[in-house]
Amino acid sequence: MEQDTSSVVKNQKLTEIFAKMNLSELPAISGHVNEVLKITLNKRASVHCVSAVILKDYSLTNKVLQVANSAYYLRGTRVTTIERAVSALGLDIVRELAISISLIEEFLSSGGEKEGLSKQMAISLLSANLSKHLVQQYKMPVSPEEAYVCALLHDLGRIIMTIYFPDVYRRIEAGTTSGSSEDAMCRLMFKQLTFHEIGQEIARF
């Protein structure tokens, strides 16, 4: 009986959270990014073909060039064309970049506390890269790209709360600074729900 009551309370709170959000306007992968994902899944895809799609999107073009010229990837001469950038990075990296850039920019444009959101997205990106490398290094029976995307979205609940419930999120952060666990603070503020559970429900939608 107690478990049923807890489930009812959780569902009521989820309904309240969903009502606060406009789920039809949650970040979605753009048409250009979808096109990049589709093309790069074909290992025989030409650099020219992939580059032509990237060049349709100003933001994607800018970010791909930035990454190709970063200290981690740059080898010698500065990269000034998308074709050279795609060649230098490889199709797998370009595909991951397309997913990440699309989601991050959409989330950042959604509102909320920019500093906290930027910090959280940076952590998600680092986690995604680490997960992919671990899967590859230890030859786990999981697709590296699947590991990357799962880790990228692992903190979806926390990201959504940062956007739509910034005041409550700050109170949770203050509680954790004072020594309380994040799960305990989240359950207190969201009727026994954790960031993980909220993220799962949103992901299911």
Which pLDDT tens digit goes with each residue over 22-51?
655 555 567 888 899 889 888 789 999 999
Q: What is the pLDDT of residue 83?
A: 95
CA distances from 36 to 30, 45, 63, 143, 175 (A): 10, 10, 14, 19, 42
Q: Which helix (H) or strand (E) holds 170?
A: helix 166-177
| Average pLDDT for the chain | 84
CA distances from 198 to 26, 56, 65, 100, 160 (A): 14, 35, 35, 21, 9
Q: HEC string of 90-159? A: CHHHHHHHHHHHHHHHHHHCCCCCHHHHHHHHHHHHHHHHHHHHHHHHCCCCCCHHHHHHHHHCCCHHHH
Range of 82-86, 117-121, 142-146 with top mean pLDDT: 82-86
Comparing 16-25, 50-59, 87-96, 147-156, the range with the smallest average pLDDT is 16-25
Comparing 36-45, 118-127, 138-147, 185-194, the range with the smallest average pLDDT is 118-127
**Higher-pLDDT residue of 96, 78:** 78
Long-range contacts of 114-122 (CB under 8 A, 24+ apart): 116/162, 116/166, 116/169, 116/173, 117/159, 117/162, 117/163, 120/155, 120/158, 120/159, 120/162, 121/159
Pick the CATH number of 110-205 from 1.20.1250.20, 1.10.3210.10, 3.40.50.300, 1.10.10.10: 1.10.3210.10
pTM of the model: 0.67
Rounded-to-integer distance, Cα 161 and Cα 164, Å: 5
Domain with CATH 1.10.3210.10 in the chain: 110-205
Which pLDDT tens digit goes with each residue over 141-181?
998 888 988 898 889 888 888 888 888 988 998 999 999 99
